[in-house]
Chains A and B, each alone.
Chain A
Amino acid sequence: MVFEVFRQERKGQPFQHAGSVTAPDESFAEIYAREQYGRRQESVALWLVPRAAVTQIAEFPDEFEMKYRRVDGYSIKARLHEARQRAGTLVADESA
């Protein structure tokens, strides 16, 4: 069985995928993961997940290009310029 290993480097940090171990069962997986990913105090915690238990989603279609939900959906520059002009707060080099 393949177990995916996630490790946490310090308390409060996210668990990150570190690699995997092959083991006949969970108790051996624990021993191997401990040796390979934790023996030098490089981890404060490990998560072992049987590979078969992982569901992967890798496609995120965006047919409607919903840009209004993203920062690149907004172009502030031209409007800000106009607003400043109207308010008379435009700095000299900006008016060019």
Chain B
Amino acid sequence: MDKRNVDQRTTEFLEYVQSGGQVETSDWMPDEYRAKLVKFIEMHGNSELMGVLPERDWILRAPTLQRKLALTAKIQDEVGHAQLIYRVVEDLGKPRRAALDDLVSGKAKFHNVFHYPTKTWGDVGVIAWLVDAAAIVSQKALLKCSYAPYARIMKKICWEESFHILHGRDVILAMVTGTQEQFELVQEALDRWWEPLMHFHGNPIPAEEDPMFVWRIKSQANEDARQEFLNGYVPQIRELGLEIPDPALAKDEETGVWSYTEPDWDKLRAVVTGHGPASQERLAFRRLSREDVAWVEQVVLAEAA
């Protein structure tokens, strides 16, 4: 055992991760770092698992067989991501069963965008294109995560997400080149999703005050992620003739910085603590499906015993 005291080791550990160092499961790490990792990665796993529910609603209603297959494949990917991510959480000390318990009881959080209903097929397109685009911005910043096992599986996850965005873009392009009614479905969905999208990367706290950045779990400040998203996607949205429902949204050509109407951060807090329009319905469904498939776990374990 190392005889140096924990404070000194923690300081050295901080310096190590802040200079780009990466940590493996078997390495010593401060308890606080481990707790922050579990919280962050578990929420990511929860979000992948809950994120399939808004899309699941549309498997039976997808407009063509091709779309149905693509949507099903995307959902399968996301459940797969949840499995990879919960595995990382397990190695940090929290069993998957405990993570699922905390998810269905409402104790653990999942991403704001999965607390909203999917009203039309336009919503499915906007989610697959823009919500996934916003997610990729965050996920790319995790490729450099100080916890190496998480960074490694993010490589695989980002690779699969790139197909999801393309699928979403294809859905949107088909609709905006279709009938006026189809175009309007996309515009209405965009109107509904703009606020959650602006909430997505979190409130603009300075990086130095964000513990997830201080520990280099993520490598980007919230506002930098939002700016990257706006810079990449606002032009792509506007070139389709769609209108973004924020009259204050504009880019300062000199500084390259986007300004926008300040999102309601209290609303974000309410949504992620289970008070979103679809939060309770989604959690109820997750509880139900967990009970429904409990027998599978029993059979698998009995078979292997």
Q: Say yes or no for A17: interface residue by CB 8 A criterion.
A: yes
What residues of A have a CB within 8 angstroms of the CB of B301 in the complex? 24
Contact indicator per residue, chain A 44-67, by CB within 8 Å of chain B (1) or not (0): 000000000000101000000000
A-B contact pairs, 5 of them (CB 8 A): A2-B91, A22-B87, A36-B80, A39-B80, A58-B26
Among the stretches B149-157, B208-216, B275-283, the one at the interface with A is B149-157
Q: Assess A22 versus B84: contact at CB under 8 Å? Given A17-B152, A28-B304, A56-B26.
A: no
Evaluate contact between A19 and B160: CB separation under 8 angstroms. no
What residues of A have a CB within 8 angstroms of the CB of B91 in the complex? 2, 20
Evaluate contact between A36 and B300: CB separation under 8 angstroms. no
Q: Say yes or no for B224: interface residue by CB 8 A criterion.
A: no
- Complex partner residue of B149 from A19, A22, A27, A28, CB under 8 angstroms: A19
What residues of A have a CB within 8 angstroms of the CB of B156 in the complex? 18-19, 37, 42
- Complex partner residue of B90 from A22, A24, A32, CB under 8 angstroms: A22
Q: Assess A36 versus B90: contact at CB under 8 Å? Given A24-B300, A24-B304, A24-B305.
A: no
Tally chain B residues at the interface, Cβ within 8 Å.
Answer: 21
Known: A2-B91, A20-B91, A32-B83. 20 other contacts (CB 8 A): A18-B152, A18-B153, A19-B84, A19-B87, A19-B153, A20-B87, A21-B87, A22-B87, A24-B300, A24-B303, A24-B305, A27-B304, A28-B300, A35-B80, A36-B83, A39-B76, A40-B160, A42-B156, A42-B159, A56-B26
What residues of B have a CB within 8 angstroms of the CB of A42 in the complex? 156, 159
Tell me the dominant secondary structure on chain B's binding face.
Answer: helix
CA distance A39 to B305 in the complex (A): 27
Closest to A31 in B: B300
Q: Say yes or no for B251: interface residue by CB 8 A criterion.
A: no
Top 5 A-B residue pairs of the complex, sorted by shortest distance between their CB atoms: A24-B304, A25-B304, A19-B153, A36-B80, A20-B87
Evaluate contact between A19 and B80: CB separation under 8 angstroms. no
CA distance A18 to B88 in the complex (A): 12
What residues of B have a CB within 8 angstroms of the CB of A17 in the complex? 152
Q: Say yes or no for B96: interface residue by CB 8 A criterion.
A: yes
Contact indicator per residue, chain B 18-55, by CB within 8 Å of chain A (1) or not (0): 00000000100000000000000000000000000000
Closest to B87 in A: A20
What residues of B have a CB within 8 angstroms of the CB of A19 in the complex? 84, 87-88, 149, 152-153, 156
Closest to A7 in B: B156
Shortest CB-to-CB span from B7 to chain A, Å, is 24
Closest to A37 in B: B156
Q: Assess A22 versus B96: contact at CB under 8 Å? Given A36-B80, A36-B83, A36-B84.
A: yes
CA distance A19 to B157 in the complex (A): 12
Contact indicator per residue, chain B 85-103, by CB within 8 Å of chain A (1) or not (0): 0011011000010000000
Contact indicator per residue, chain A 2-32, by CB within 8 Å of chain B (1) or not (0): 1000000000000001111111110110001
What residues of B have a CB within 8 angstroms of the CB of A58 in the complex? 26
What residues of B have a CB within 8 angstroms of the CB of A2 in the complex? 91
Closest to B26 in A: A56
What residues of B have a CB within 8 angstroms of the CB of A24 in the complex? 300-301, 303-305
Closest to B85 in A: A19
Closest to B73 in A: A40
CA distance A29 to B156 in the complex (A): 19
Closest to B297 in A: A24
What residues of A have a CB within 8 angstroms of the CB of B303 in the complex? 24
CA distance A58 to B26 in the complex (A): 10
CA distance A39 to B84 in the complex (A): 14
CA distance A2 to B88 in the complex (A): 11
CA distance A28 to B301 in the complex (A): 10
